[in-house]
Amino acid sequence: MPNRYLVIFLYLFIPLYGFSQQTLKVTKKVSDDVKEVYHVLASDGRTKTGLYQAFYKNKTVVANGGYSNGKRTGVWQFYNRNGKVVQSYNFDRNQLYYEAPEDTTSSLHYAVDKQLDSASVVTKPVKIGGVYFGYLPYVSLFKIPGQLSELNRDAMTAVVELLISPGGRLADYKVHLYYTVLAQNVAEIPMNLKLPDPNDLTFTPATLNGVPITSRVLIRCKVKSNGRLDFN
């Protein structure tokens, strides 16, 4: 009888041990200040599974959720750099649960190419990930090109401009560089729409009186000493 129980114990233990060996932990930089930590299937080294987290300066969580077979699943929470929740999104239902209101301190501004009046009801475009983590890819992908490397970066600011179609697609992506004191446009640099993550091409479009419209997202940024950008 004891041998029978030993066999049953080993039968139960082996699958559990094997499962623990099926994933690998990955830590990767998203930007100068943000890193992501997640697991992938050991069988292919690519398919994300289980808990996903992104950290600002190694301590503040800015994204928290889960993956199943390479796809985001369940409810994800997204935060600003101070750790405040700015968005909750359910990927199983494709439903936005919560979006924090923005105030005058936000680095993001929105524009529509429509004549508005007092009766107009306009909604802004929405990016999964919220106003920080969701827009981080467009800010972090830019670096001052070599031909502009001699410019005084301490005297510069930048605006990342995203054009969002009524269908919720990223239609144009560019960066404007300015001299702060003179408010002079130094350069307008087009960016490649072939982004590393195809999900960064999709938005919930802006609407005017319930009808999707073209909109622009303008992200005010500061230029760092290494030629990269950060939210203003």
Stretch 38-50: mean pLDDT: 94
pLDDT of residue 5: 41
pLDDT of residue 149: 79
Per-residue pLDDT of 172-209, as tens digits, reads: 999 999 987 766 788 999 999 999 999 999 999 999 99
Per-residue pLDDT of 101-160, as tens digits, reads: 998 889 999 999 888 999 999 999 999 999 999 999 999 999 999 888 788 888 899 999
Contacts 24+ apart (CB under 8 A), 124-129: 124/206, 124/215, 125/164, 125/168, 125/203, 125/204, 125/205, 125/206, 125/215, 125/217, 126/96, 126/99, 126/203, 126/204, 127/203, 127/204, 127/217, 128/87, 128/89, 128/199, 128/202, 129/63, 129/78, 129/87
Q: What percent of the chain has pLDDT over 90?
A: 78
